[in-house]
Amino acid sequence: MFSSNIDAMKKTIQLCLIAALTLASFPGISQTIEEAEIADKRGDRKEAYEIYKKLAAQGNAVAQFNAGVYIMSGSRTATDFEEAEAWFFKSAQQGYVKAQEHLAWLYVYHKKDIVRGAFWYEKAAAQQDSDSIAALSNLYKANPGLQEKIKQYLEAEVEYNRQQALTQQQEKERQAQDERTRTESLACLDRLYGDPRTKSLSGKVIIDTNKTATLEILGNTSKPNAKEKAALSYVFTEWERCTDIQEEPRKKMLMPEVTQVINAYRLDLKSAVADLYGGKTTYGDLAKTRARLDLDFKQKISAIISSVQEKELAEARRKQEAEAQRRYAEAKNQQQREAELQRQQEARRQLEIEEARMRLAQQQAQQQAQQQQQENNFQQSLQLLQMLNQKPQVQPRPNTSVNCTSTRFGSTVTTNCF
């Protein structure tokens, strides 16, 4: 009873989704990249963007790239950057080199994630993209050890993809098992609906929950006889057995609140059937009680779904805000690191200038000392040379006369002598 209701709703939702996807996948007019380019050339950017976006949704790598470019050329808000990044990433994964180069630019200069940016620059450089080759060379020069970080990032990316593939495989296996269980449960209920032992309840109790209670059933004031009681006991016992087949999947898939609602519904329904079985109520009373229980169940499930959606939306907003704060903090830290790097570079430059000044002063002092020494040496040499070349001075004799006496031939003569 309960299981069939949920499965019927699931099938309806699935059909609606399939219908929606089908309508989205087959537009009325097939459009091409060339048409978008023509619209862009004539200045109709809105039409060009709409065409690009439709083609991008269908997986066209060129359209995905151009959709990102159009978004980037818009208001440049944080949301725009996020949407552009998503389109660039999808296109880059398909190997479109322009998308790889633009995605790398976004990571390096917008998100300040140099490693991821360099990773995508390498992808584009491998396809001989000149801009990416130049950007990658500059990043390597400015960031020593970047190649090793890229290698580590690539290893982490490979491991992440492996884990994702494993998780997806496990999820597929779980879904396949759940589908087998659901199919088994439905088959069990189908056999119950066609069981000859339930024929005595035909027109009195709705066994097939795809049907709604008629006025005849709602207005039925009769109570079950012995044969019908036996049929009621059999139907309810088998129904519980069929629905219990999905007990384990329910525990894995459903929230505790949903499980509580399901258990309460089953208990209330069992109590209503027991009252009918015991002759306390009529078939019409059971149908009315069943209708109220179904309505109450749907309202409670809807309330839980709304609550979950609100929590998910709040959590998504919280994560978005946390991510924005994290990126803001990263950008601020990057700015601080760049400012500190500039400060250190300026300090080193000033130190180099001061050292150059000191070396120049020392050189000038040494030159002055050498010049002074040369001057001193020259003066000493000049003095020595003057001393060597100096002539001795002769003192003139005094012009005075002295009386001298001499004896010659026995007589004394007085004369002037010098």
411 strand-pairing partners: 408
CA distance 32 to 48: 10
Q: Alpha carbon of 201 to those of 119, 230, 233, 267, 276: distances in Å?
A: 70, 10, 11, 21, 12
Give me the pLDDT at residue 28, please: 36
Q: Tell me, yes or no, whether 252 lies in a domain.
A: no
Residues 98, 83 share a domain: yes
CB-count exposure of residue 382 (10 Å: 0-12, 13-18, 19+)? exposed
Are residues 139 and 108 in contact, defined by beta-carbon separation less than 8 angstroms?
Answer: yes
Q: Is residue 38 domain-shared with residue 101, that is, in the same domain?
A: yes
Distance CA 287, CA 282 (A): 9
Same domain, yes or no: 102 and 175? no
Residue 179 structural domain? 147-191
Handedness of CA 100, 103, 109, 115 (dihedral sign): negative
Same domain, 128 and 155: no
What distance in Å separates the CA atoms of residue 264 and residue 175, rounded to the nearest whole number?
A: 26
Angle subtended by helix axes 61-72 and 97-105, to nearest 10: 30
Q: Which CATH number do you get for residue 136?
A: 1.25.40.10
Give pairs for 93-98: CB < 8 Å, separation 24+: 94/59, 94/61, 94/64, 95/61, 95/127, 96/61, 96/62, 96/64, 96/65, 97/123, 97/124, 97/127, 97/129, 97/132, 98/65, 98/129
Same domain as 47, residue 106: yes
Say how many domains are in the chain: 2
Tens digits of pLDDT across the chain (418 residues): 434 444 444 443 343 333 333 333 333 345 788 888 898 888 888 888 889 989 998 899 999 999 999 888 865 565 677 888 899 999 999 999 999 999 999 999 888 889 999 999 999 999 999 999 999 899 988 888 888 888 888 888 888 888 988 988 988 887 787 788 878 888 887 887 778 888 888 888 876 656 778 888 899 999 999 999 998 899 888 888 888 887 877 777 778 888 889 889 889 989 999 999 999 999 999 999 988 998 999 999 888 888 888 888 888 888 878 877 877 777 677 678 778 878 888 888 898 899 988 999 899 989 998 889 988 888 888 888 888 876 555 556 555 555 555 555 555 555 555 4
Tell whether 131 and 162 lie within a shared domain. no
Q: Is residue 93 part of a domain?
A: yes
For residue 417, the model assigns a pLDDT of 53
Alpha helix segments (H runs only) across 254-282: 256-277
The pLDDT, as a whole number, for residue 180 is: 83
Residue 84 near residue 71, CB atoms below 8 Å: yes
Q: What is the pLDDT of residue 18?
A: 33
Check the CA dihedral 123-127-131-135 and report its sign: positive
> In terms of domains, do 72 and 112 share one?
yes
Domain match, 109 and 168 both: no
Residues 159 and 186 both lie in one domain: yes
Inside any domain, residue 410: no
